[in-house]
Chain A
Amino acid sequence: MEETGIGIWGVPLAILAGAIRVSTPFIFVSLGETITERSGRINLGLEGTLVFGAMTAYAVAVMSNSPWLGVLAAMATGAVFGLVHGWICKWPKVNDIAIGIAMMQFGLGLAFFLGKPFIQPAAPHLPAIQLGFWSSMPQIQAALNINVLFLLGAALAFILWWAFKNTRIGLILRVVGDSTDAARAMGINPDRVRLLATAVGGSLAAIGGAYLSLYYPGSWNEGISSGQGLMAVALVIFARWNPIGCFLAALLFGGTGALGPALQSVGVTQGYYLFYAAPYVLTLVIMIATSSPTRSLAGAPGALSLTK
């Protein structure tokens, strides 16, 4: 980093910038997982969906020269992964957690397999909006250089929060998630609702992947994801299945991830790697503090196998 002139203030600014930059995939994956879990099913395979989405988005963007077409293609493949997961899990005796792990391995394998030819070529990036134009400081300009997907994700969080409470679809989703029997009594087919919820969740997770390959870090390789898809499961618990909570938690996770590099830039190098563990420690501590052996987590969907 060049000489800043804002000294120690560079740290919070870098954390803010990092939070915004890093959090976008977290926002989409966790919102997707929230929709799935609110329907009473858990999809642990979003890591595979995310990486496959990243590959698809990159490949389609390379071939069509349109990043937005890439995002759409990623959403379609994410929905397919979700449909496969949802369809398999409707059968009796099938463990949704284990299927998620299997889908993760399958998705990662398939993404590496099909993505091999796309490691070299460069894809067009998604556009960003310069919200820092008012400042003359390059740090602030860089920090406020915000991608469109971040804004879409933020909007989606609020829309989902509203929709869960106020729309018919939101109500159906919550009924299915809280009690399979109650949903059946209302004449709702729980399997179909969960199938669709998993498909929507998968397509949102794939958008998170598209952001990784088409904006930041902005290239496709086999190490593109640092576990965002898996972290999302923890993040959703952390956020108590609340979409706005997911958005804030995603910012927090992004910010803690940026803490290490930001401190390093001002000369603090001790414990550099431990900062990477900060989001995980935070989630674990909160889970320990709020769980209880006698009741399920507050705010948890009743039919969710995870909290039983």
Chain B
Amino acid sequence: MTVQANDPAISVVSGKPASLRPVLEWIARRAEPVVIGLAAILIGLALFSLFILAIGKSPAMLFQLMYTGGFGSWFSVQNSLSRAAPLLLTALCVALPARLGLVIIGGEGAVVLGGVAAAAMATPLAGTAPVFLTLILMGIAAMVVGGIWIGLAGFLRHYRGVNETISSLLLSYIAIALMNQFVEGPLRDPASLNKPSTKPLPPEYMLGNIPGMDVHWGLVIGIVACIFSWILIEVTSFGFAARIAGGNVRAAQIQGLPVGKLIVGFTAIAGSFAGLAGMVEVAAVQGSANASLAAGYGYTGILVAFLARHNPLAIIPVAILLGGIDASGGLIQRRMGLPDATVLVLQGTLFIVILFCETFFGRFKIFNPDLWKRSL
């Protein structure tokens, strides 16, 4: 807007110490997402409390239990962290393409196929190859398959103009059908009778726990992936180009940026993280690929990414928070007699309110130093 007000010379003219204003501007610009985000969460919790009151239960008791069940003890903290691990990766599957202006909602498909690919890779290796090598190869297989799957949505978007939201959704349904086909057919372990599964990993091949914790290594993988993504977006020129393309595709093309490669690259990286989530599910939790892979991590990841406003570092606390809410579901069910879907209602309420609060961005003068009075 008014470029003048940004000029450092003006704050000198205003008579106030010139050093104060840049600091305040810095704080104001960064405070906007935090303040609006927290306000949105509070509004969401208030609406949810009204709902709980309406059905004749105590919201205070519910939030108390939610805290106890999610973060009240070392045991529950570990439970929450374990649940957060896949969400970190599936949220990245939404957040990375979102920086390019793409809405990808098919992460579930990449999770499922990543899990199948990891299990398929492990089947011939388990028992013969070294453990570490097997796990690395499982991870690579899952990332390649997941990357191809979501990268395909990006490819179709750029080169064929197919809407990526719909194509990723269709691809995720196709992926679930493919998984069922593989798990019931060529990859099925004859010993799995009631629940068709691939051959289970031998216990020594499982991705173990972080030393001193009852949380598997998936958490570390997820956090590393978030940090890597943050560096990719915020530090590298690749990420800078992607942010420009996300802001204005035409401008990026006029600048000569390789928009197509950026879109395919970012969606492929995003998909490979979701695929990795599937590998972690197989190697650390399930021990084999089966229908439990489609447990909705892909869909909860969408919520996490939007809550974190597609900032990879913000995904870490948000995923842990949602993991905690998820972990407390059982306690709420037992103590208050509420259905396990209570957690879903809370998540949905928060999701709607937070998206609604996007409308408040840029509306408050206090967050926009360009509109401040000069006398400040």
Q: Which residues of A line the B interface, CB within 8 A?
A: 44, 48, 84, 88, 91-95, 97-99, 101-103, 105-110, 112-113, 116, 227, 230-231, 233-234, 237, 271-274, 276-277, 280-281, 283-284, 287-288, 291-296, 306-307
Q: Mark B240-259, 1 if CB is under 8 A from A, else 0.
A: 00000000000000000000
- Are A291 and B160 also in contact (CB < 8 A) when A102-B352, A113-B341, A277-B177 are? yes
Select one of B169, B302, B339 contacting A113, CB under 8 A.
B339
Q: How far is the CA of A233 from the CA of B306 in the complex (A)?
A: 21
| In contact, A88 and B356 (Cβ under 8 angstroms) | yes
A237 — which chain B residues lie within 8 A by C-beta? 163, 166
- B10 near A: Cβ within 8 Å? no
| In contact, A109 and B345 (Cβ under 8 angstroms) | yes
Q: Mark B71-109, 1 if CB is under 8 A from A, else 0.
A: 000000000000000000000000000000001010000
Extra contacts, 18 of them, besides A95-B358, A105-B347 (Cβ < 8 A), are A94-B355, A98-B103, A99-B356, A101-B302, A105-B299, A107-B348, A113-B341, A231-B173, A273-B184, A274-B181, A280-B170, A281-B174, A284-B174, A291-B161, A292-B160, A293-B159, A293-B160, A307-B163
Query: How close is B182's CB to chain A, nearest CB, in angstroms?
Result: 9
| In contact, A102 and B348 (Cβ under 8 angstroms) | yes
Select one of B178, B356, B362 contacting A91, CB under 8 A.
B356
A107 — which chain B residues lie within 8 A by C-beta? 348
- B286 near A: Cβ within 8 Å? no
- B68 near A: Cβ within 8 Å? no
| In contact, A105 and B348 (Cβ under 8 angstroms) | yes
- Are A91 and B359 also in contact (CB < 8 A) when A277-B178, A292-B160, A293-B158 are? yes
- Are A294 and B161 also in contact (CB < 8 A) when A103-B352, A109-B345 are? yes
Q: How far is the CA of A227 from the CA of B344 in the complex (A)?
A: 17
Task: Please name the residue on chain A nearest to B157 by beta carbon.
Answer: A293
Task: Please name the residue on chain B nearest to A304 by beta carbon.
Answer: B163
| In contact, B177 and A109 (Cβ under 8 angstroms) | no
Mostly, the A contact residues are helix
- B113 near A: Cβ within 8 Å? no
- B213-250 contacts to A, CB under 8 A, are none
Query: How close is A61's CB to chain B, nearest CB, in angstroms?
Result: 21
Query: How close is A80's CB to chain B, nearest CB, in angstroms?
Result: 14
- B292-312 contacts to A, CB under 8 A, are 299, 302-303, 306
Mostly, the B contact residues are helix
Task: Please name the residue on chain A nearest to B362 by beta carbon.
Answer: A93
| In contact, B170 and A283 (Cβ under 8 angstroms) | yes
Q: Which of the listed residues B171, B342, B359 has the most CB atoms from chain A within 10 Å of its own CB?
A: B359
B63 — which chain A residues lie within 8 A by C-beta? none
Task: Please name the residue on chain A nearest to B180 by beta carbon.
Answer: A273
What are 19 A-B contacts with C-beta separation under 8 Å?
A44-B165, A84-B352, A91-B359, A93-B359, A94-B356, A98-B306, A103-B352, A105-B299, A105-B347, A106-B348, A112-B341, A234-B166, A273-B177, A284-B162, A287-B170, A291-B161, A293-B160, A295-B161, A307-B163
How many residues of chain B have a CB within 8 Å of chain A? 47
| In contact, B359 and A92 (Cβ under 8 angstroms) | yes
A283 — which chain B residues lie within 8 A by C-beta? 170
Q: How far is the CA of A280 from the CA of B156 in the complex (A)?
A: 15
- B351 near A: Cβ within 8 Å? yes
Q: How far is the CA of A67 from the CA of B361 in the complex (A)?
A: 46
Q: How far is the CA of A78 from the CA of B341 in the complex (A)?
A: 20
| In contact, B166 and A233 (Cβ under 8 angstroms) | yes
Q: How far is the CA of A145 from the CA of B352 in the complex (A)?
A: 42
Query: How close is A290's CB to chain B, nearest CB, in angstroms?
Result: 9
- B349 near A: Cβ within 8 Å? yes
| In contact, B342 and A88 (Cβ under 8 angstroms) | no
Query: How close is B157's CB to chain A, nearest CB, in angstroms?
Result: 9
- B167 near A: Cβ within 8 Å? yes
| In contact, B162 and A288 (Cβ under 8 angstroms) | yes
- B315-353 contacts to A, CB under 8 A, are 338-349, 351-352
Query: How close is B195's CB to chain A, nearest CB, in angstroms?
Result: 15
| In contact, B344 and A112 (Cβ under 8 angstroms) | yes
| In contact, B351 and A106 (Cβ under 8 angstroms) | yes
Select one of A92, A101, A292 contacting B161, CB under 8 A.
A292
> 5 nearest interchain CB pairs?
A106-B348, A109-B344, A277-B177, A112-B341, A102-B351
Q: How far is the CA of A205 from the CA of B27 in the complex (A)?
A: 46
Query: How close is B165's CB to chain A, nearest CB, in angstroms?
Result: 6
Query: How close is B328's CB to chain A, nearest CB, in angstroms?
Result: 15
Q: How far is the CA of A284 from the CA of B166 in the complex (A)?
A: 9
A110 — which chain B residues lie within 8 A by C-beta? 341, 344-345, 348
Q: Which of the listed residues A109, A283, A291 has the most CB atoms from chain B within 10 Å of its own CB?
A: A109
A92 — which chain B residues lie within 8 A by C-beta? 359
Select one of A94, A105, A307 contacting B358, CB under 8 A.
A94
Task: Please name the residue on chain B nearest to A102 by beta carbon.
Answer: B351
| In contact, A95 and B355 (Cβ under 8 angstroms) | yes
| In contact, A99 and B177 (Cβ under 8 angstroms) | no
Q: Which of the listed residues B159, B163, B356 has the most CB atoms from chain A within 10 Å of its own CB?
A: B163
Q: How far is the CA of A101 from the CA of B348 in the complex (A)?
A: 9
| In contact, B355 and A113 (Cβ under 8 angstroms) | no
Query: How close is A103's CB to chain B, nearest CB, in angstroms?
Result: 7
